[in-house]
Chain A
Amino acid sequence: MIKYYAFFLGHMQSLLQYREAAISGTFVQVFFGLLRIYLLKAFYASSTLPPPMPFEQAVIYVWLVEATLRLAPFAPDTEIVREIRSGQVAYELIKPMDLYFIWLSRSLASKIAPTLLRFFPVAVISSLFFGFRGPSSGFAFFSWLLTICMAVVLSSVITNLLNISLLWTISGEGISQLMIACSYLLSGQMIPLAIFPDTARDLIRYLPFAGIIDLPNRFYLGELQMEHLLPSILFQLAWILLLWFIGYFILRIGLRKLVVQGG
């Protein structure tokens, strides 16, 4: 366990160095957040139908999305891509450790560090100028924090599936393209899931992506209450376990047929 923690910590520390990138990233995210909010505002202003959520809440939702943007499972770890290309992954296999958990610790760090770096600047700027508000109650804050932690793990096991797929695809370019699209659409990053047509929305909320962004956001906004907390956590946990087993199993198969080319 300590060994994996060292991997996690090492990767965390190196990722936390990218502070300048986080500053320019904050600008970009605030800009995109504003565009999204003004778009929603225009739609809200013209609609005669009852809106799926009050506009103020939609604004908070958008800012939460921007602040936690880097939580989503977008692409395989670039360093693992390089390791697989160069064959360096063979050295990882020599270590008396399980490759799945080495990669998982890296994935966890690659979700937590960039999110920590960007959350606060985006949250501060948007709450000062653009209508971002704190959680609706103490319980909302507590449950949001809890579900966000689960979301980090959930996103990491999905990212790890992408890492593992590299054993077959090598470049990972196509799969990350598809993943970015799915994640944007299905996690609520593009528009709040509540805006989708009712049946589509209900179906999407069963998918793991919804558990990463949409679910924590709904606790933050106070839409989900005390009685929803346990089922929600179990929902996230079920997906974590399922995707973990799938990843672990596929990695075994992949390693069995792995050919390390030359030295």
Chain B
Amino acid sequence: MSNIKIYFSFLASSVMSQMQYRASIIMLSLGQFMVTGIEFLVLLALFHRFDSLLNWSLAEVALFYGFIHVVFALADSLSRGFDVMPMLIKTGELDRMLLRPVPLLLQVSAKELTIRRVGRFFHGLIVAIWAWISLGIPFGFINILLIVWAGLSAFLLFQAIVILQATLCFWTTESIELGNLFTYGGVEAVQFPISIYPLAIQRFFLFIVPLGAVSYFPLVHLIGKQSVYSIPGWSVWIIPLTGWVFWLLSQWFFSLGLRHYTSSGS
């Protein structure tokens, strides 16, 4: 069986085991839908009080907001295995996983597909679709392809961050909370166009954790606005490649960490 097949069968079994508690899953998903909906109320309140955000309208900001929430929901639903990395090391579960003839990284990333994240996912999707329609962006093939391409890149970036964070556990055993600063902090920051922030924060999300780069340029292109950075039009297709680069780097770092791993002995 190919690794990809194994990956999906792991995820399928995770979904099935969660579906044993169907009522609980439905309620938690609905709960999350409402909770993330409350975040959108704040956005509405801000636009009600101040009629615009610099030169951005509510619908434009909503596209950024919806985009990153959809992507983060997907990434977050697949990051559970990396979150429990310290536990895997401490309990010796990781040693057992190493015995299996399947790459460790694949096993960890397929540990759980957290279903209840669909709450955030649908919240983001509804906001994004509403924004898309009210901005009058045509539903052409190229446009859809661009947003999916950008989304995939942002997804890989989020994954890379949690993989890097989990890899550090090979040295520290304890989890490092700093990664949350980049994931949750990243969502918080790039749910608005990054050009509203001071230069230092813009550069951070363009060059260091390029979540801003992979969302800002493609979305600005879709909206048809002038970017504050003058870049050629074709580059909106190239910039999302940074997600792939980060992801490959994180894979390399993970295997480096694994070589340094010594079992905790339990």
Contact = CB atoms under 8 A, between A and B. Distances in A.
Interface of A: 21, 24-25, 27-28, 31-32, 34-35, 38-39, 42-49, 51-52, 173-174, 177-178, 180-182, 184-185, 190-191, 195-197, 200
B49 A35 contact: no
A191 B44 CA distance: 12
Contact of B45 (A39, A184, A195): A195
A49 B50 CA distance: 7
Contacts, number: 90
22 contacts: A21-B177, A24-B177, A27-B178, A28-B185, A32-B188, A35-B189, A39-B46, A42-B192, A42-B197, A43-B53, A44-B50, A46-B50, A46-B52, A46-B53, A51-B49, A52-B49, A178-B35, A180-B35, A181-B39, A190-B39, A196-B45, A197-B49
Contacts of B42: 185, 190-191
List 9 A-B pairs, minimum CB-CB distance, nearest first: A47-B50, A181-B35, A42-B196, A43-B50, A181-B38, A46-B54, A190-B42, A177-B31, A196-B45
Interface of B: 27-28, 31-32, 34-35, 38-39, 41-42, 45-46, 48-55, 177-178, 180-181, 185, 188-189, 192, 196-198, 201
Instruction: State the majority secondary structure of interface residues on A.
Output: helix
Given A35-B185, A38-B198, A45 B54 contact: yes
Contacts of B46: 39, 43, 191, 195
B179 to A, nearest CB: 11
Given A31-B181, A38-B198, A181-B35, A173 B54 contact: no
A237 B173 CA distance: 46
Instruction: State the majority secondary structure of interface residues on B.
Output: helix
A156 to B, nearest CB: 23
A174 B201 contact: no
Contact of A47 (B31, B34, B51, B192): B51
